């Protein structure tokens, strides 16, 4: 799932939103309303668990990457407590016909450094990278076979079926993971050098955390693979054209992700991390979610209902390749997934996600901003009595 800001011209239809939310807060069976130039009817027209699965492991690298002091700039002091326990991280990347961007993602993972930016250094760690190929036909397997051997890299291929999708692919990666900490990425991300260290540091701060990292949006343009192979270099990438929209939301709310009752909705698995035992305890991703959207929010919702807390890691940074607008097919998939989400969790705050539909539907004009509607989503969920970790 990606953030909605930017997928529909940076905007979200706001006219009539207050009435939509008032209807929902009053217990209305659907979210609907009318504004000048808007369509009448429900905000999402479609609102009227499969088992956890493994995968076949087709190849595995036998060399492991350990982030050590030698990976860091010589000027950076190691401030970790003596004898800090080493963390094993499993990075899971689903991919489908994304050979070029996946290679750039893997190149950036070669250059991870130990420790955080400041004096609050995280634990030492080793890591493996698990690529789950969801039926690609673009030569992804050949690229993996030729990738530099210094990355502890596993690759597994899943034949394409009507059940294919990010949820099934990530579950296949989870079945292969050996790390206690699972980090999820998409194949169109390039990660900065402290990416894994920051995820490890946030989890060291307490048990049962769900961590969402920062995502920067890149302009359209090529990436310089030769430069990325030698180290992380922003000049090898298109320029950043937009920051992480959630940070503006935090400023509007004067809250952190941990304080939000809708924090689960803002955990995007293009950059997130979870304790592996927590993922396994809830059965991993729900593979009934296929196509585009909401499989990550639903997983985070279940984890929060089980007592996990959500946290934002602004220094765990990915740079996201330019994204094309949402299509009508993607919108239909989102609606279908939302309907399944609501059936599985018939809580008011879950159904309230309907109000994001105008930002996604390519047939609607959408004046207004995403952060305004996301803030109203949070305020209304609070009025409805939702709370982080509340069991229903």
* Residue 357 confidence (pLDDT): 86
- Token pair belonging to 287: 């593979």
Taking Cα atoms as reference points, which of 3, 388, 392, 1 lies closest to residue 208? 388
* Residue 181 confidence (pLDDT): 97
Q: What are phi and psi of 53, to 5 degrees?
A: -125, 155
- Rounded to whole angstroms, how far apart are CA atoms 98 and 309? 32
Tell me: the pLDDT tens digits for 247-300?
A: 999 999 998 999 999 999 999 999 999 999 999 999 999 999 999 999 999 999
* Residue 85 confidence (pLDDT): 81
Calculate mean pLDDT across residues 223-229: 93
Per-residue confidence at 366, pLDDT binned at 50, 70, 90?
A: low
Quick one: which H or E segment has residue 95? strand 87-95
Where does residue 174 rank: exposed (0-12), middle (13-18), buried (19+ CB within 10 A)? Answer: buried
Calculate mean pLDDT across residues 313-319: 96
Q: Are strands 181-185 and 125-133 parallel, antiparallel or unpaired?
A: unpaired
Higher pLDDT: 384 or 117? It is 384
Q: What is the CA radius of gyration of the chain?
A: 21
Give the DSSP letter of residue 11: B
* Residue 373 confidence (pLDDT): 85
Domain 59-320: what homologous superfamily? Spore Coat Polysaccharide Biosynthesis Protein SpsA; Chain A (3.90.550.10)
Per-residue confidence at 215, pLDDT binned at 50, 70, 90?
A: very high
Percent of the chain past pLDDT 90, that is, above it, reads 63
Whether 163 shows a pLDDT value over 60: the answer reads: yes
Higher pLDDT: 31 or 356? It is 356
Tell me: the pLDDT tens digits for 368-389?
A: 678 888 988 999 999 988 765 4
* pTM of the predicted structure, to 2 decimals: 0.80
Calculate mean pLDDT across residues 192-198: 96
Whether 29 shows a pLDDT value over 50: the answer reads: no
Taking Cα atoms as reference points, which of 209, 211, 161 lies closest to residue 50? 161
Residues 5-39: b if buried by 16+ CB within 10 A, e if exposed: bbbbeebbbbbbbeebbebbeeeeebbbbebeebb
For CA atoms 216, 3, 390, 284, the dihedral sign is negative
Give the N- to C-terminal CA distance of the chain in Å, as an integer. 24
Where does residue 137 rank: exposed (0-12), middle (13-18), buried (19+ CB within 10 A)? Answer: exposed
């Amino acid at each position: 799932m990606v953030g909605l800001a930017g997928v529909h011209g940076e905007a979200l239809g706001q006219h009539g939103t207050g009435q939509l939310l008032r209807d929902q807060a009053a217990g209305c069976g659907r979210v609907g309303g009318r504004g000048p130039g808007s369509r009448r009817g429900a905000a999402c027209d479609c609102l009227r668990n499969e088992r956890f699965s493994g995968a076949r492991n087709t190849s595995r690298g036998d060399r492991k990457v350990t982030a050590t002091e030698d990976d860091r700039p010589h000027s950076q002091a190691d401030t970790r407590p003596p004898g800090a326990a080493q963390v094993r991280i499993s990075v899971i990347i689903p991919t489908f016909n994304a050979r070029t961007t996946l290679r750039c993602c893997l190149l950036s993972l070669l250059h991870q450094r130990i420790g955080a930016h400041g004096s609050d250094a995280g634990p030492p760690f080793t890591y493996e990278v698990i690529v789950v190929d969801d039926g690609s036909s673009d030569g992804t397997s050949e690229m993996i076979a030729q990738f530099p051997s210094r990355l502890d890299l596993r690759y597994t291929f899943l034949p394409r079926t009507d059940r294919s999708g990010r949820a099934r692919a990530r579950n296949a990666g989870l079945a292969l993971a050996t790390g206690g900490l699972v980090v999820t990425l998409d194949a169109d991300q390039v990660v900065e050098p402290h990416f894994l260290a920051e995820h490890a540091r946030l989890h060291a701060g307490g048990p049962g955390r769900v961590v969402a990292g920062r995502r920067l949006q890149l302009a359209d343009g090529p990436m310089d693979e030769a430069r990325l192979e030698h180290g992380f270099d922003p000049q090898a990438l298109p320029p950043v054209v937009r920051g992480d929209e959630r940070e503006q939301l935090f400023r509007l709310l004067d809250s952190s992700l941990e304080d939000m009752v809708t924090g689960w909705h803002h955990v995007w698995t293009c950059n997130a991390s979870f304790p592996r035992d927590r993922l396994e305890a809830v059965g991993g991703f729900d593979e009934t979610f296929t196509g585009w959207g909401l499989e990550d929010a639903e997983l985070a919702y279940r984890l929060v209902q089980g007592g996990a807390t959500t946290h934002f890691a602004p220094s765990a940074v990915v740079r996201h390749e330019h994204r094309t607008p949402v299509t009508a097919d993607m919108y239909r998939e989102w609606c279908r997934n939302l309907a399944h989400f609501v059936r599985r969790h018939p809580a008011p705050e879950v159904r309230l996600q309907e109000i994001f539909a105008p930002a996604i539907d390519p047939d609607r004009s959408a004046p207004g901003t995403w952060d305004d509607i996301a803030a109203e989503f949070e305020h209304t969920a609070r009025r409805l009595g939702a709370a982080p970790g509340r069991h229903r």
